[in-house]
Copies of this chain bind each other. A is one copy, B any other.
């Protein structure tokens, strides 16, 4: 049990977003070690995998096993990604606390990534919500609105279309929504503006920011979203990950760097740096040849924070 509630929550998505873009399949035993170590470091929401066909993403074929293990950890929100109704049914069967359904704001990215238009994805979301309700499940349904800040395929994405889809997702029954800079195109002014507009549409149901550090603005964008009022962020330990259908998109913001950003500002995340950095070192051994990103692992905490600890 944590003594004080964190002011910002960092959802670890490395086991899903990180591993899905790496050709090497991490053995289930290592994933379970990662899960337990992340929990021990203070992480209280973890996206443990994705219910997609194993032929498409063999790296994530053991998601049900990960969910079962995660459900044993007290106070942990066990989250999974689902691409469609079939995946959502598997998520419901698994007992996961939360499922994330990605919907692309970019028409071109939606077709490439999900093989349907954004409007068809919203219709599928409505079916997912109906299935959840029919099952009498309490599983939280969250939409991650991807390519909300631009798209490598389509280029610009209209803000009005993002806001329209946000409203459509809520109307279709989503409990929560988030905005994702899937390909690292966002800038801090745009982030602040779009989250502020999004909050005026979705209120406290717009809860999450998902940023990639492709062009060095990842942490500035996290800061801008936090300024707009967002208090949950996705991140991958070591900044691994990306989207296989978004050419040029590299690493998520690094969990340890996002944690440092907030710690440096005196905003608590509940995370233990020594534990996070030890796990990061272990992760780099589990994933030989995979580039780790991020700054704080290299530079170390400043003297001012070490003295305060």
Contact = CB atoms under 8 A, between A and B. Distances in A.
A304 interface: yes
Contact of A223 (B151, B220, B304): B220
A296 B265 contact: no
Interface string A206-227: 0000000111110110111000
Contacts of A152: 302-303
Interface stretch (A85-93, A97-105, A180-188): A180-188
**Interface size grouping (class) on chain A:** 35 or more
Contact of A217 (B155, B188, B261): B261
A178 B18 CA distance: 40
A260 B224 contact: no
A216 B296 contact: yes
A14 interface: no
A156 B184 CA distance: 34
Contacts of A264: 187, 190, 215, 217
Nearest to A263: B187
A189 B265 contact: yes
Q: How many copies does the complex hold?
A: 2
A217 B256 CA distance: 12
Interface of A: 150-152, 155-156, 183-185, 187-190, 213-217, 219-220, 222-224, 248, 250, 254, 257, 260-261, 264-266, 294-296, 299-300, 302-304, 307
Contacts of A250: 299
Contacts of A266: 189
A155 B183 CA distance: 38
Nearest to A153: B303
A295 B213 contact: yes
A215 B299 contact: yes
A106 to B, nearest CB: 11
Given A223-B224, A265-B187, A215 B296 contact: yes
A124 to B, nearest CB: 28
A184 B223 CA distance: 17
Nearest to A302: B185
Nearest to A216: B295
B260 A215 contact: yes
A266 B303 CA distance: 36
Contacts of A254: 216
Contacts of A189: 265-266
Given A219-B216, A304-B155, A265 B190 contact: yes
Contacts of A217: 219, 260-261, 264, 295
B188 A248 contact: no
B307 A155 contact: yes
Of A215, A264, A300, most buried by chain B (CB within 10 Å of CB) is A215
13 contacts: A152-B302, A156-B304, A156-B307, A183-B302, A185-B303, A188-B265, A189-B265, A189-B266, A190-B265, A215-B257, A216-B260, A216-B261, A220-B261
A300 B266 CA distance: 34
